[in-house]
Amino acid sequence: MRALLSLLVLMPAIAFAQTVTRDGVTLTVQQEQRAEVIGDQLRCLVCQNESIEGSSASLAKQLRVIIRQQVVAGASSKSIMDYMVQRYGIFVLLKPPLSKLTLLLYASPFIALVLGFFVAWMARRSRVAPPAPLSDMDRERLERLLKS
Amino acid sequence: MFALPLGFVAVGGIGFYTILERMESDKYDPHALPSPLIGHRPPAFTLPGLNGGAGFSNTDLAAPPRPMLVNWFASWCLPCAQEAGMLDQLAQTGLQIWGIAYQDKPDATEKYLSQYGNPYTRLATDISGLTAINWGVYGVPETYLIDKTGIVRWRWAGAITNDVLEQGLNPLLAQYS
């Protein structure tokens, strides 16, 4: 009973002390998760459509190490992102922030929508009116013509 | 009625054609990144030289007598070897080029320099590559133009070709000398 009680008391500590080692840096599971969230948002500069987390380039590995070292040192996620942007520019962010440079990019869906409505309106306006329905006489004549 | 969408397709087509055309003639590289270092001084660093030689630090770059280049290179980098002739040529015109060997074994760097020529006025080694990260270097070769006030004015990622020299570097050298 006593052993069980002490185990119960120790359990949170054991859970917290559970560590992983990634790229040579040892950190807790929570810290590793935070590091992964940061790394997933950063572009690998070598293979530019991969994230730092997903890339096997040596620079990406080095940046993963830096992220983890800073996480262990207690740096906030924002300050780690700022560290990367300061060195590599906003291009390092896989999701670019809204700025003068990216305004057109973010506005493009709305521009496309407005253009779509405009084209639809133009198409509607220039549509030829459908012909009047056939009268009984016309229908009879049509049938005659089709049969002959 | 089709004029409008057709117009957009045409504009898009011309746009794509221009991009491809400029990529073909080396005037546009979609992978090139603007360096946040431009308009600023290089970050603080002190790097050792090659095999016990004197290295240099950011304070040595604070006020060069004339505009100069800092070239990041490595013996394992193929475009660096392709660029070596160009750097020699530039060094002969009196332009100072300081080299930083990036993540390279000192002996390999030494062998590389004896093989491809040494255009560097001064030489430092960044074996860990951590100074390179502070500079925002993402591959070698990379070349930075530093003006007389120690401010970075230009960064080129990749080998310096004749086109890069004529369209990129030479006008800036004239402007800042």
Relative orientation angle of helices B3-24 and A103-125, to the nearest 10 degrees? 150
Phi, psi of B6 (to 5 degrees): -60, -40
Burial B74-94 (b: 16+ CB within 10 A, else e): bbebebbbebbebbeebbeee
Q: Which percentage of chain A shows pLDDT scores above 70?
A: 92
Between the alpha carbon of residue B176 and those of residues A87, B38, B148, B170, the distances in Å are 24, 14, 7, 10
Please tell me the predicted confidence (pLDDT) of residue A96.
Answer: 87
For residues A58 and A127, which has the higher predicted lDDT (pLDDT)?
A58
Mean pLDDT confidence for B150-169: 93
B135 close contact with A: CB closer than 8 A: yes
Rounded average pLDDT over A81-92: 94
How far is A80 from chain B, CA to nearest CA, in Å?
13
Instruction: Please determine, for residue B61, whether its predicted confidence score (pLDDT) is greater than 70.
Output: yes
* Residues sharing a CB contact under 8 Å with residue B27, sequence separation 6 or more, in sequence order: B163, B167
Mean pLDDT across A71-96? 94
- Cβ of B139 within 8 Å of Cβ of A46? The answer is yes
Q: Is A47 exposed, middle or buried (0-12, 13-18, 19+ CB in 10 A)?
A: middle
Among A66, A87, A126, select the one facing B136 at the smallest CB separation. A87
Coil/strand/helix, residue A42:
strand
Q: Of all residues in chain A, what percent carry a pLDDT higher than 90?
A: 53
- Give ipTM to 2 decimals: 0.83
Orientation angle between helical segments A58-72 and A77-88, nearest 10 degrees = 140
Residue B136 pLDDT: 95
* Band of pLDDT at residue A12, cut at 50, 70 and 90: low
Q: What is the pLDDT of residue A16?
A: 58
Taking the whole predicted model, whether its pTM rises above 0.95 is answered as no
Give the closest of A48, A59, A86 to B31, CB-based. A48
Q: pLDDT per residue over A32-61, tens digit each?
A: 999 999 999 999 988 888 999 999 999 999
Q: What is the Cβ-side half-sphere exposure of residue A65, based on CA atoms within 13 angstroms? A: 14
Reported as a pLDDT band with limits 50, 70 and 90, residue A123 is confident
Return the minimum-mean-pLDDT range out of A65-79, A96-110, B127-141: A96-110
> Under a CB-based contact definition with an 8 Å cutoff, are residues B26 and A140 in contact?
no
Give the mutation candidate from B33, B40, B137 for the A interface (greatest A CB count, under 10 A).
B33
Mean pLDDT of the residues in chain B = 93
- Nearest beta carbon to residue B138 from set A46, A66, A115: A46
pLDDT for residue B74 is more than 70: yes
| Contact (CB<8Å) B139/A59 | yes
Q: Is residue B163 pLDDT above 70, yes or no? A: yes
Report the pLDDT value the prediction gives residue A10, as an integer from 0 to 100. 67
**Residue among B125, B23, B151, B81 at smallest CA distance from B15:** B23
- Give B16-29 pLDDT, tens digit per residue: 999 999 888 777 77
Q: What amino acid is encoded at A141 in this protein?
A: R
Q: CA-CA distance, A49 to B106, in Å (whole number)?
A: 33
Q: Are the beta carbons of A62 and B129 separated by less than 8 Å? A: yes
Q: What is the pLDDT of residue A9?
A: 67
pLDDT by residue (tens digit) across B77-127?
999 999 999 999 999 999 999 999 999 999 999 999 999 999 999 999 999
Nearest to A91 by CA among A101, A78, A77: A101
CB contact under 8 A, A88 and B33: yes
A119 vs B4: CB contact, 8 Å cut-off?
A: yes
- The C-alpha angle B166, B91, A88, rounded to 5 degrees, equals 65
pLDDT for position A47: 84
Q: What is the pLDDT of residue A119?
A: 86
